[in-house]
Amino acid sequence: MTGARHWLAGLLAAGGLIAGASATPAGVLAFRIEDASRLHLLLADGEGRPLRTLRRAAEFAQASQQRLVFAMNAGIYEADLRPTGLAVEAGRVLAPLNTRRGEGNFYTSPNGVFYVTAAGAAIARTASFAAAPPPRVRLATQSGPILLENGAMPAASVRAEPGPAARRLKRNAVCADRGVATLVMVDDAVTLHELALLLRDQVGCRNALYLDGAISQALDARSGRTDEGVPLGPIVGVVE
Q: What pLDDT is stored for residue 95 in this prediction? A: 97
pLDDT in tens, 207-230: 999 999 989 999 999 899 999 999
Residue 22 has pLDDT above 60, yes or no: no
Cα 124 to Cα 116: distance, rounded to the nearest angstrom: 11
Is there a contact between 184 and 125 (Cβ–Cβ < 8 Å)?
A: no
Query: Mean of the pLDDT values across residues 16-39?
Result: 72
Cα 174 to Cα 67: distance, rounded to the nearest angstrom: 21
Q: What pLDDT is stored for residue 167 in this prediction? A: 80
Higher per-residue pLDDT: 160 or 35: 35
* Model confidence band, residue 26 (pLDDT cutoffs 50, 70, 90): low
pLDDT in tens, 62-118: 998 999 999 999 999 999 999 999 999 999 999 999 999 999 889 999 999 999 999
Look at the chain and report how many structural domains it folds into: 1
Domain that holds residue 116: 3-12+20-239
pTM: 0.89
Q: What pLDDT is stored for residue 54 in this prediction? A: 97
**Closest-CA residue to 120 (of 201, 75, 180, 192):** 180
